[in-house]
A and B are shown apart, each in its own frame.
Chain A
């Protein structure tokens, strides 16, 4: 195998090359977010091309070739194999995470530096939530949604004991005595990649994604055939639903619903899984009416394709503009899905232009590396500050408000909580509550001392810091440089959050190059309307398009022969609001006048 990204090369067109030069000049004076909408959107497209050329790096597949199954050509395989028919291992479950940076840049620090500064100290001093900072432009479904999606895209697996990191604790640290080992806090390591390493990998560590890398709604349908068969009813292609209209309980995962991927389960995930399981079944009904001869398998797989595409659409043109509220971004995300709304420009750019007609239905393209989720992508999606420590649970039929702690809505008690409060009431409550802002000093405190079955007591904030370090994700300043932004020279250049620069300087001993990625992303001053940092957004620009552009089922095979005309029409006409209203019609008044289902809904009483 060639080291050169398995033979994939990015080909830049003349127009792209010209625009690249032009925008380098423009950006010398003006950043993209201060440009008029159309120019700003074009600027984002230029960034994306640069990133496609330089920021996709292959790490090998780490899996053996899968066997062919009938139907792999027409619908998604359970494990994501054969999405690319020439490279069947690409993006399949168990394949390695790729990288957004050249492999020599993705080498973890030596042992001495790896624990410096202490992630526990960062958790205590920079991340701990003093007072809840709400993201007032969003509702709590937006927080649940991104976890719902990341469960589709990646999982490093559950860390096992042995050879843990030993994090020193300062005198006076309140970490429970019984959880300390020799005075240290323990953090388990990421599950190792035991497959044989290619010699060209150098010192870059590799890890495997247990989920399929594709945007295939694997969180609902699972990433292997056995799991897929478990969740199915076996009748008319439908997902198994209990008599109460809810997903059944997972017998091996107490408190969680039986679904494709139910790790880190809580009520927020349960809401979305139930919602889209219902959606799947409605799609099956629609297909059955139109294609009465189709067997269970055919109905299930076609409905999966349609449901998955609808979820991808909601994420692209509703969730993303919801959390990144900038007109250029809004324009770009709609262009990603359905193209630009200008006929003349469309004609000029041509039929195959993804800018003109959208990525959906355009030719499949891997650009400079085989498709894979990347470690850097997982790093920028550490968005735990979105989670509040507590929330108001409302009722649709009464004004009363119950104040509940999030910790009582997760893990083993999730189903019980759902049963007692009701699906519709909880959906309404999530729609009317705010998530946390993705900022320093807003990390949910219950996650900083979190009990999870089969795990030692967790400080998830400290773990987040350690994960980036152990996986060789560059620290903040080098990360900036590698995504095409200037390095900062002072802490004040990163943040204007009061007192944050001083605290960071003290913790990082004045060395701005040591600032951890997550700390920098949470501290960074944001472009107008943005919910997370511009640095994280650079990875997002690249990967959001890539999830669509690399996937045969969103590009070459996004056609009626695969989806059916009914399916294409379903994806085209529906959105989050219509899905909500179809399955929870009681939400009508709460959603009235709400343009984006991830924006706060109307509070009906009180």
Chain B
């Protein structure tokens, strides 16, 4: 059952945790991705946070495009097609997979694990994508912006860090909004998964015992919350949403109730299916496999294609 909180002028929000309810709300015709900011101060602040994810000419990041936006469907289909040919893509990012495998097994890497993840994801879009500590810091700033409390959010914006981070991410993504989203926001879940894999390894001999598929199911993480707005009042199953209710879909909570279905984390059967629904599980499986092998690949010093050892100047 959803948790609904409404304080006039302050907040009108519904938190949905149940997997079935979550999917129903996600599919409801009157529940939209774009946020008006109406419904209370909290609703307004959340809408203001998401409103920054536009390019300077106003182009909307794909994850914030509405259901009936023809460009959303087109981008989704194109990207899904590009990411569906998993094997060649995994070969393309084999050096990063090996580096992540080493991190999981040994717990150390020549650069931040997040940078490696960002580069792996970026190279799915551009073979010569190069991540750096700065680009990863930009991604962290944007992730922090989304979850920050008002004072910190104010500081992130006021200090110019937000603008600088957006500019850096868009520059490294060469204007590709899907790449920008993946290397700034979506990558946060993969970083969490890699960290969980490392934790798993630290517990006894998990690396040998746990098969890659099981490792995936135990470490896959979905976004903690996905935000929607009920434009008009609607009854979705047992949930009665008033107009302008901010709907928080607790995807990770719901996924844990459907842990055997990795597709749930990616809304695999919904209109907003993540185009990376095949490649991300395959990537995590490969990382686990790489960790299980004894080979110490290029991660010990040889830079991956397009990458560089930490000691070299940028």
Contacts and interface: CB of A to CB of B under 8 A. Distances in A.
Interface of A: 1-4, 102, 104-105, 107-110, 112-113, 197-200, 202-203, 475, 477-478, 481, 487, 511-514
Contacts of A197: 70-71
Contact of B29 (A4, A109, A478): A109
B232 interface: yes
Contacts of B269: none
A197 B234 CA distance: 31
Contact of B66 (A109, A202, A477): A202
Interface string B69-98: 111100000000000000000000000000
Main secondary structure of the interface of A (DSSP, over half): loop
A489 to B, nearest CB: 9
Interface string B16-57: 000000000000011010101010000000000000001011
A3 B53 CA distance: 13
Contacts of B65: 202-203
B68 A107 contact: yes
22 contacts: A1-B58, A3-B57, A102-B36, A104-B32, A107-B32, A109-B29, A199-B58, A200-B54, A200-B58, A200-B59, A202-B66, A202-B69, A203-B69, A203-B70, A475-B232, A478-B231, A478-B232, A481-B243, A487-B243, A511-B233, A512-B233, A513-B243
Contacts of A199: 58-60, 71
A203 B58 contact: no
A110 B29 contact: yes
A2 B29 contact: no
A109 B36 CA distance: 17
Contacts of A475: 232
Given A2-B57, A199-B71, A477 B232 contact: yes
B57 A107 contact: no
A104 B57 contact: no
Nearest to A200: B58
B67 interface: yes
Contacts of B57: 1-3, 200
Contacts of B231: 105, 478
A511 B240 CA distance: 12
Interface in B123-172: none
B243 A203 contact: no
Nearest to B33: A104
Contact of A4 (B30, B58, B68, B234): B58
A158 to B, nearest CB: 25
Q: Which of A198, A199, A514 has the most CB of B within 10 A?
A: A199
Q: Which of A2, A197, A200 has the most CB of B within 10 A?
A: A200
Given A481-B38, A487-B243, A203 B66 contact: yes
A232 to B, nearest CB: 43
Interface of B: 29-30, 32, 34, 36, 38, 54, 56-60, 65-72, 231-234, 243-244
Q: Which of A102, A104, A198, A200 has the most CB of B within 10 A?
A: A104
Nearest to B73: A203
Given A202-B34, A478-B231, 12 more contacts: A1-B58, A3-B59, A113-B30, A198-B58, A200-B60, A202-B65, A203-B65, A203-B72, A478-B243, A481-B244, A513-B243, A514-B232
Contact of A105 (B30, B36, B58, B60): B36
A25 to B, nearest CB: 15
Given A113-B29, A199-B59, A513 B69 contact: no
A477 B243 contact: yes
A202 B71 CA distance: 7
A3 B66 contact: no
A513 B231 CA distance: 10
Contacts of A113: 29-30
Q: Which of A3, A102, A512 has the most CB of B within 10 A?
A: A3
Nearest to B244: A481
Nearest to A110: B29
A104 B70 contact: no
A108 B232 contact: no
A2 B234 CA distance: 35
A2 B55 CA distance: 10
Nearest to B35: A104
Contacts of B58: 1-4, 198-200
Contacts of A112: 29
A567 to B, nearest CB: 42
A287 to B, nearest CB: 47
Q: Which of A475, A481, A512 has the most CB of B within 10 A?
A: A481
A67 to B, nearest CB: 27
A203 B54 CA distance: 15
Contacts of B233: 511-513
Given A2-B57, A203-B66, A513 B32 contact: no
Contacts of A513: 232-234, 243
Nearest to A1: B57
B9 to A, nearest CB: 13
B68 A108 contact: yes
3 shortest A-B CB distances, which residue pairs?
A: A3-B58, A104-B34, A200-B58
B36 A203 contact: no
Contacts of B244: 481
Contacts of A4: 58
B135 to A, nearest CB: 24
A104 B36 contact: yes
Contacts of B72: 203
A102 B232 CA distance: 15
Contacts of A1: 57-58
B59 A110 contact: no
Contacts of B68: 107-108, 110, 203
Contacts of B30: 113
Nearest to A3: B58
A17 B32 CA distance: 32
A478 B58 CA distance: 25
Contacts of A514: 232
Contacts of A110: 29, 67-68
A202 B74 CA distance: 12
Contacts of B66: 104, 107, 202-203
B34 A3 contact: no
B250 to A, nearest CB: 23
Contact of A3 (B54, B67, B234, B243): B54
A112 B67 CA distance: 14
B209 to A, nearest CB: 48
B246 to A, nearest CB: 14
B307 to A, nearest CB: 32
